[in-house]
Amino acid sequence: MTEKIYPDKFSLKNKIAVVTGGVGLIGKPVSIGLAQAGAKVYIADINEKEGIKTEKNYKKSDLQLKWIKLDITDINSIRSCINKIVKEDNKIDIWVNCAYPRTSDWSDKFENIKYESWKKNVDMHLNGYFICCQQIAKQMKKQKLGCIINFSSIYGVVGPDFSIYRGSNTTMPAAYSAIKGGIINFTRYLSTYYAKHGIRVNAICPGGIYHKQSRTFVKNYEKKTPMGRMGKPEEIAGPVIFLASDAASYITGHVLLVDGGWTTW
């Protein structure tokens, strides 16, 4: 009779996880989901007010959620964060790069984008992920074990369909496509570079997530999606839990699309 091992493989009990951008639209449900799967989760975010609020909201529950200050654009902040966690818990098993830093002119049309703004967004976002991965990989290499999950997007895989933005006040930022595409190949690079050290590196690519966008945009988006709707933030947590678990122990360098079928057309 086959031993019943698979439920345990999906458990994150005794795992230490860090979620950058942990109080964000997707980062918060990912943090909560990892905690519900059994991990002790550090909500690593620059937003102290929301971080403390989230930690406080779950203080009386069985979930282990703790806010820690982290600025992914500052290497000293990243090192300090890692050192504090390792000092308290001796290890970091899971690192999720979910932070989404951007400038106030992020959504300017392509012809209006200032070069300095382009550079700043690439520096904060893509280069921020680079610093985080470089620093956490040093710790995971010592442990000879670890899992890194980077957040990309469907627009790191396919070109934008600008028709869905007609009649709305939104557009697809040019830097977003460049950054998210870069994250995918960077993830693949890391996966082969660190595989011999027991470190798995994968990417999650969400499709459009509903966040009170204009009704026009939502309708246009829904028509383009085989499942006929936008995603919910909490629907991204499940795939992250899977990739972080031992059930995915033979998966590295993978780009997991969570998009309601958007990229299948």
**Closest by CA position to 177, among listed 161, 196, 200:** 161
User: Residue 118's Cα: distance from chain center in Å?
Assistant: 21
Tell me how far apart the alpha carbons of residues 82 and 16 are, in angstroms, rounded to a whole number: 11
Segment 179-183 long-range contacts (CB within 8 Å, at least 24 positions apart)? 179/121, 179/122, 179/125, 179/126, 180/152, 180/153, 180/155, 180/156, 180/205, 181/152, 181/155, 181/156, 181/157, 182/126, 182/156, 183/126, 183/129, 183/150, 183/151, 183/152, 183/156
Asked if residues 23 and 233 have their Cβ atoms less than 8 Å apart, the reply is no
> Checking DSSP bridges between strand 146-151 and strand 199-206, what pairing results, if any?
parallel
Tell me how far apart the alpha carbons of residues 59 and 22 are, in angstroms, rounded to a whole number: 16
User: Residue 186's Cα: distance from chain center in Å?
Assistant: 14
Q: Which of 42, 100, 155, 176 is catalytic?
A: 176
Q: Which of 15, 100, 180, 221 is catalytic?
A: 180
Tell me how far apart the alpha carbons of residues 38 and 151 are, in angstroms, rounded to a whole number: 22
Question: Does residue 117 carry a catalytic annotation?
Answer: no
Asked if residues 232 and 208 have their Cβ atoms less than 8 Å apart, the reply is no
Question: Does residue 180 carry a catalytic annotation?
Answer: yes
Query: Phi, psi (5° rounding) for residue 76?
Result: -70, -35
Q: Is residue 149 helix, strand or coil?
A: strand
**Closest by CA position to 262, among listed 181, 151, 155:** 155
Q: Which of 31, 153, 191, 245 is catalytic?
A: 153
Question: Does residue 176 carry a catalytic annotation?
Answer: yes
* Residues annotated as catalytic (active site), given as ranges: 153, 176, 180
